[in-house]
Amino acid sequence: MVDLSVELGPLKLKNPVLTASGTFGYGLEFEPFFDLGSLGGIVSKGLSPRPRHGNPPQRIAETPAGMLNTIGLQNVGVDAFLSEKLPKLEHYDMAVLANVFGETEAEYVEVCKKLDGAPGLAGIELNVSCPNVECGGIAFGNDPRALASVTAACRKATGLPLLVKLSPNVTDIRETARAAEDAGADALSLVNTFVGMAIDVEARRPVLNRVSGGLSGPAIRPLAVHMTWQTYNAVKIPLMGMGGITCARDALEFILAGASAVQVGTSNFVTPTSAADLVNELRDYLEQHGFESVRELVGSLQVES
C-alpha cells in the first residue's frame, strides 16, 4: 500500500489532493458526487467579515482551455461559515481550510481571529489577490511589503496553520514568496488566477461586467508549474500547487516541481468527481512506478545542470 500522506509544516494531510477556494462551494454541494472523506482536504470559498453579494453578471467567460471569472468574492461571511457550514463538514476525515480575504489588513485579522480555534478547522489560507483599499487598490499580493505586513498581522491573530496564497500577476514570484515566508507563513499556496479579459466583438463590449477577471483552467498550467518550480527553489516552507489541474499527470507536474500538495479548481466544475478521481489516479501512478510514498516525488524533478 502506498503512502499518500503529506505534511505542510504543521498541516498534516492524509493525501495531497485538496479542492481550491471558490471552486468547491463549502464542500457540501459535492456530497452527491463522492465521499468528501476521500480527499486530503478542501478550501472554503473566500470568507470576509460580513456576507458579500459579489459582482453583477456577466460573471464568467470561457476562453481557450480556460475561463475568466469576476464572481467578486460573493460569500456567506465568516460567521455563517462557522455556524452553518463548518459543523456539517466535521464528520469527514479530511482537512478543512478557510480561505480569507479583506479590503484592509484589519479585515483579514478580524476574520482570522474569528476562525482561530474553530473546532474542525485545519488551517487558514490568505487570499492576497484582493485590492488593498488603503493602499491605492493595488492587490496585497502584488506588493511584497503589503503582503509581509498582512501575513505578519494574521500570524499574530491565529495559532492555526497559516498558508498564504500567492498572486501570479507579479514580475518575480520569489519576492512575494520570500516576503510571506519571512513574515511567518507556514506554507504557500500558488497560484491564484491571472488577470485577463474577453471582448464581445459583436457588441463591442467587455464580456464581463467588471471588464477584467481572473483566468483559471488548463491554459494557465504551464505558467503555474513554472512559478511552483521557481518558488520551490527560493523558499524553505512547503508549497501547495494549483492552476489547471485536471488529472494525476497534471498534479504530478506540480508535485515534481516542488508542491507537497495540490488543489483542484476549475476542473471541479467540468467533472465534479475530478478531485476524488485524482486521488485514485495518483495512487495508481505511485504503485505502477514503484514509489512507496508520494513524499519521494516532491521536488524530485531531474534537471541537468
Partner 1 sequence: MLDLTTSVIRNLDLGHGNYLIEFGVPDSIQQMKPAQFFMIGTPGSEPLLRRPYSVCGLNGTFPDNQRGTAQVLYKVYGKGTRLLSGLGKGAELQVLGPLGNGFDLPDTGRRALLVAGGIGSAPFPLFIRHLAEAGHPAPRMIYGARSQGDLPLLSWFRDSCEEVLLTTDDGSAGEAGRVTQPLERLLEQGEGERLHLYVCGPDPMLKAVARLASRFDVPCDLALEAPMACGFGVCLGCVVPVHGDDGEVRFERVCVDGPVMPAQRMAW
Ligand X SMILES: Cc1cc2nc3c(=O)[nH]c(=O)nc-3n(C[C@H](O)[C@H](O)[C@H](O)COP(=O)(O)O)c2cc1C
Contact residues: a second copy, CB under 8 A: 63-66, 68, 142, 169-172, 194-199, 201, 203-206, 211-212, 215, 217-223, 225-226, 229, 244, 249, 252-253, 256-257, 285, 297, 300-303
Share in percent of the chain as helix, strand, coil (round to 5): 35, 25, 45
- Residue 102 vs 217, nearer CB to partner 1: 217
Q: What are the cell numbers at 73?
A: 468574492
Query: Stretches 69-77, 122-130, 187-195, 278-286: which one binds partner 1 (CB under 8 A)?
Result: 69-77
Q: Is 77 in the site for partner 1 (CB under 8 A)?
A: no
Query: Taking a C-beta distance cutoff of 8 angstroms, is the pair 124, 163 a contact?
Result: yes
Q: How far apart are CA 185 and CA 25, in angstroms?
A: 25
Positive or negative, the Cα torsion across 173, 177, 179, 180? positive
Write phi, then psi, for 214 (nearest 5 degrees): -100, 130
Q: Which of 69, 158, 176, 228 binds ligand X (CB under 6 A)?
A: 69
Q: Does 117 bind partner 1 (CB under 8 A)?
A: no
Q: Which of residues 261-300 bind ligand X (CB under 6 A)?
A: 264-267
Amino acid code (one letter) for 182: D
Rg (CA), the chain: 18
d(CA 92, CA 84): 15
Show which residues are catalytic. Answer: 130
Per CB under 6 A, residues contacting ligand X are 20-23, 45-46, 69, 71, 73, 99, 127, 165, 192-193, 216-217, 220, 242-245, 264-267
Per CB under 8 A, residues contacting partner 1 are 22-25, 29-30, 32-33, 53-54, 56-62, 64-67, 69, 71, 74, 217-218, 246, 266, 268-273
